[in-house]
Structures are given as structure tokens and as C-alpha cells.
Chains A and B, each alone.
Chain A
Amino acid sequence: MDIFYPFSAIATWLVEDVFRITNTTLAGSVHFFVYDTLKIFFLIIIITHIMSLLRYYLPIEKLRDFLISHKLYGLEYLLATIFGAITPFCSCSSIPLFIGFVQARIPLGITFAFLITSPLNNEVAIGLFIGLFGLHITLLYIAAGIAIGVLGGWILGKMNMEKYVAEFVWKLPEQKGNTIAKITLPKKEIARIVSKEAMDITKKIALYILAGVGIGAFIHGYVPQEFFETYLQKAGIWGVPLAVILAVPLYSNASGVIPIIQSLIAKGVPIGTGLAFMMAVVGLSLPEALILKKVLKWQLLASFFGIVTVGIIMIGYLFNGVL
């Protein structure tokens, strides 16, 4: 039983009874657009609500306080990446996050584990992935984002790069945690806050998704099956690193890129190459590098981006080889 069947029925009804589209290619594209849009928004609304609720009870400051007071023997890397996944990423928020971890004297490796995973795995990406690729690939993708974060963070932690953090960060007073007042709100009020935040996030990305799915629907209907295969056969083994390099200057919102990537994969682009491209678009962005430059010296910034690049390329090959 397909739980998305009602959306397919609505799309069919719109194409056949409302718009009365007889051209099969156009009908296919419109059906694809309506069905995918409904399905994706349905999933994103549910997932943003779950994540927003989680964040209400577990804000990032709680993770910091927990890491200050517990010794976890390596598990802290995993915990940091999981928090990175539930925290919505915005390059403008990476500075206070970074300084906050350093102020709490949390090791750099754990801080980077968080910073690496946060843009790769986020609620909107997860919603889009379930809708476009199914649950199986979504889980593999989440695992990949966490693996890059844990390993990348661990390697950066071993490199002893504390001296490459801007001096002013170390001069800030050490934070001991427990900074946010506890006020108990009525359940109804919490539900309203959570729901409002979830809907705000959904609204903010709605246009990107519509544009992404629109381009995807066009590719789906009008780009011939062999189009990419001819190019990609030339690229051969270099396809994955090439995709990653091409993606770096493209800074975009994951919500617009994922639907396009899905339609490219449907047209013969290998899945690992497609995913590596997408991860590089969201995880290796120049604006983020420029912002982090304020707190990191170039040696550390370059190591951070270098390790994430290698991680994404490896994930790309892995997906191409396994799936």
C-alpha cells in the first residue's frame, strides 16, 4: 500500500479532468510536478514539526552543557553529528556556534564534527530525500553525513590545530554552561511555537522547492535518456571528483538542488556522482568559508574543507559502487 497514493490520484485528476492535457510528454511532466510537490511538502511539514519539537527541548546549548559535564570516550563525536543533523544550518549561525563550543573548551574535533554534518543532514534535505529517493537511500544518506562528520571531526581533532583558531576566540571568557532560564509554558503554547517554527521553515524554502521540482519535472519529461550518459562516459572514473569541484562555486539551498539531482539520476547520472555533487553544493560553500575565516586561520580552514571534500568524494564512490 502506497501511502502517497492520494497525491498521485490528485495529480492524475488535475492532469486528466481539470487541465485535460492530451500531450503525453506534457501530461507526464505536469503529473510529476504536482505529485512530487504535494508529496515533498507533506513530508517536509511532518519532519520540520518533529525536528522543531526536538529542538525546543534540546537546544544546542544543552548539548554543550552535556558535553562539558560528561566524559563519553569517543561517543561525543557521534552525539555532535546527530545534533548537527537536527540543527537547521545557516552559514550566518556558524560563528556563534563555533565560538560557543570553543568557549566551553569542547575539543575542536567535536566542534568540527558538528559543523561538517550540520549542512549535509538537515530536516528539509531529509524530507526531500524520503519523497524523491525513498526511505532506504535516505537512511544511507543520513549515515553518510554522520560518517563524514565523525571521521572528519576525529581527523581534524588529531591534527592539533588549536593554534590556527583566531586569538580573540581564546581570549573570550570560558563558559560553564546552564545559561538559559527555565520557564514552563503551557503545552498548547509549546505546540504553537513548534508549529510556527516548522511552518516558517517550510515557507522559507517553498519557492526553492517549487523551482527545483519544476526544473526536475522538465528534465523528467523533455531531456532524452541518453543525454547525460554520453557525457558521463567520457568523464568515467573522474565523474565524482569532477562533480564535487563543479559544485563548490555553486552555492545553493539544498531544497532547490535535490529535486534536480533526483531527475538527473533518473536520467542516467550515477547516484553516487549525483549525491556527491549535492553534498558539495551544500557542504562546501564559499560564503561559509568566508564567514568562518573570521575565526579560523587559513591552515585550519583549508584542512576543514579538504577533509570534507575527500569525505564527499569517498561517499560518492561508495554509493556508485554499492547501489
Chain B
Amino acid sequence: MATNTLNIKILGTGCQNCITLEHNARQAVTELGLDATVDKITDIETIMGYGVMSTPALVVNEEVQSAGRVSPVEEIKIMLTAKTQTKQPTDTSSGNACGCSHAC
């Protein structure tokens, strides 16, 4: 189902924070068992086209979700879940059923 594929972009010029954010995004995708692509955008003019002023930034389906900080896995999971809820029922097939890896 190609229409449900999420497109995640990591905007950043290649510093350590961008690498960490990409790692977190990939982990969130894996933990939620989603179908998603993760791309890295390093070109400054493309980055500025998204209207962010601080990197790294996280873009999901062309919408900027966070900028200037490394969103942790839990936060990205909340963002991604919000994006998928309108399109498909919540996916409970992943191992971490409750979605809170620390709280319970």
C-alpha cells in the first residue's frame, strides 16, 4: 500500500546531532512497524526551503515537526502515530504494544 508510506526527512548539514536524529527516526519507524522512507537532506538551500532556521530538523510528509533539537524516539513515535491515525488504524502488531518503553 504505497499511499500509506510515510516520508521522513532529516534536515541538517551533517553534524553529530543530525546522525543521532536519523538514528532515532529509524528506530521509531522500526518500533512502530511502519512503512516509511527516511532521507537525509544536507543541501542548505533545500533546508532553508522548509523555513527552518535551526538544524537538525525533522520533516514528516513535507511538514516540519521539530527544529533545532534532536527529537527522542518517543517523541518521533508520537508524531508518526499522529500522521498515520488519519490514514490507517493504529498498528498494534509491533512488539512494544503499549508504546511507552519507560513508563510501564
Contact = CB atoms under 8 A, between A and B. Distances in A.
Interface stretch (A42-50, A153-161, A184-192, A308-316): A184-192
Contacts of B15: 92
Interface string A49-73: 0000001100111001000000000
A196 B21 CA distance: 14
B50 A179 contact: yes
A224 to B, nearest CB: 42
Interface centre among B51, B52, B78 (most CB of A within 10 A): B51
A173 interface: yes
Given A92-B13, A92-B15, A60 B68 contact: yes
Interface in B1-33: 13, 15
A55 B78 contact: no
A288 interface: no
A180 B52 contact: yes
Nearest to A204: B16
Interface in B55-91: 55, 63-72, 74-75, 78-79, 82
B48 A99 contact: yes
Contacts of B45: 168, 172
Interface residues of B, number: 29
B72 A60 contact: no
A129 interface: no
A291 to B, nearest CB: 10
A55 B68 contact: yes
B71 A95 contact: no
A95 B44 contact: yes
A61 B65 CA distance: 12
Given A183-B79, A189-B78, A96 B65 contact: no
A103 B64 contact: no
Nearest to A172: B48
Contacts of B65: 180-181, 183
A2 B74 CA distance: 40
Contact of B51 (A61, A192, A196): A61
A123 B55 CA distance: 19
A197 interface: yes
B78 A183 contact: yes
B102 to A, nearest CB: 8
A96 B48 contact: yes
B54 A96 contact: yes
Contacts of B70: 197, 200
A192 B52 contact: no
A8 interface: no
A97 interface: yes
Interface in A164-208: 168, 172-173, 175, 177, 179-181, 183, 185, 188-189, 192-193, 196-197, 200
29 contacts: A55-B69, A60-B54, A61-B52, A61-B53, A93-B54, A95-B44, A96-B44, A96-B48, A96-B52, A96-B53, A97-B53, A97-B54, A99-B48, A100-B48, A100-B52, A100-B53, A103-B48, A172-B48, A172-B49, A177-B51, A179-B64, A180-B52, A180-B67, A185-B75, A189-B74, A189-B75, A189-B78, A192-B74, A196-B72
Q: Which 6 residue pairs across A and B have the least CB separation, nearest first?
A: A100-B53, A179-B51, A181-B63, A180-B64, A175-B51, A60-B53
Interface of B: 13, 15, 44-45, 47-55, 63-72, 74-75, 78-79, 82, 103
